[in-house]
A = this chain, B = another copy of it.
Amino acid sequence: MKMIPDGSVDLIFADPPYNLQLGDGLTRPDQSTVDGVNDAWDQFGSFAAYDAFCRAWLSEARRLLKPDGAIWVIGTYHNIFRLGSIIQDLEYWIQNDVVWVKTNPMPNFRGTRLQNAHETLIWAARGKESRPTFNYHSLKTANDDLQMRSDWTFPLCTGQERLKNGGKKLHPTQKPEALLHRILLGTTNPGDLVLDPFFGTGTTGAVAKRLGRHYIGIEREAAYIDAAAERIAAIEPEAAEMVTPMPSPRREARIPFGRLVEDGLLSPGTVLYCAKRRYRAKVKADGSLATPGATGSIHKIGAHLQNAPSCNGWTFWHVERQGRLLPIDTLRQTVRAQMASMAS
């Protein structure tokens, strides 16, 4: 980075080491081993060491940004708070934080925490007075004419897109091109210069080339450099107007049963009945159903009472309203309708 002159870069995308500090030997319920990130480049002795490292590269990054330049960084709770604080301390000016909601995250295999289903990005201008590029209408058009939100839904980088070496992943943390696509489309113009100081397998370069942006990549590992060069060489630049639109980030809202209780549509203690009132169960505050001898989800309890292998609790269970039985699926549709009307 020291070779790059002051004020010469339009945008920086940085995916720095996350400082994960993992234990070893995590196994799945089927006894297979989880291939965690234990590379040497992710080892830092302390928060102080990690902070010093990040302050150094973030400070240098700011030097070489143009006055209206901006930076994106990505991380998880292990490091994103360090990054965000340092960015603020260095007098960058945060525009937004963005959450990448993963459609297919790895589960928490031990049932000890919530499933870690998102990563966080920070978009910051070089300073408070900067006017960074923001293609508001491009993003709005890509989002079915709705203003682009700060939560972005994408799958992990898997399948053909994931670079492999002898059948195994080449890089532990390759980012999806769709993520970079939205970032570069939204916050750079064609011909801009994009810098990625943690280039890895070159996702930033690949997307920049395809979208007609110039790029500089910095990487330490020779194996990654070679793979990135080969990957980018195969990219055919596209005319900006030919770029395929991104899939809509909106998905059909999945409403779990517990949500009806959280929203107050069903209060704890309410009795649910099957259509013929042959079976009954009580709603608990955590969204489980209780019958004498068993407690569980609407599906589990429905199956249990009928002695069936499975059951769709949404259609099986009913709530009494004005003397008549109403399927709880109707309440779910109420929630969906509320969400839709509020969003519009």
Contacts and interface: CB of A to CB of B under 8 A. Distances in A.
A238 B146 CA distance: 41
A113 interface: yes
Contacts of A82: 85, 88
A24 to B, nearest CB: 12
Nearest to A184: B285
A112 B94 contact: no
Interface of A: 25, 27, 31, 43-44, 47, 76-78, 80-85, 87-89, 91, 94-99, 101, 103-105, 107-108, 111-118, 120, 122-123, 128, 134-136, 138-151, 153-155, 158, 177-178, 181-182, 185, 211, 238-239, 241-247, 253-254, 256-259, 261-264, 267-269, 282-288, 290, 295-300, 306, 308-311, 338-339, 342-343
Given A88-B47, A239-B268, A258 B142 contact: yes
A246 B116 CA distance: 20
A115 B78 CA distance: 25
Number of copies of this chain that the complex holds: 2
Contacts of A311: 31
Contact of A151 (B117, B138, B258, B296): B117
Nearest to A43: B91
A256 B142 contact: yes
Given A155-B342, A288-B246, A256 B136 contact: no
Contact of A242 (B105, B182, B262, B268): B268
Contacts of A309: 25, 27, 31
Contacts of A44: 89, 91
A25, A261, A262 — which one has the most chain B CB atoms within 10 A of its CB? A262
A261 to B, nearest CB: 7
19 contacts: A27-B309, A31-B310, A47-B89, A81-B85, A84-B84, A95-B114, A97-B120, A101-B151, A120-B120, A138-B287, A141-B297, A141-B300, A142-B262, A143-B287, A144-B254, A144-B299, A146-B256, A178-B264, A244-B284
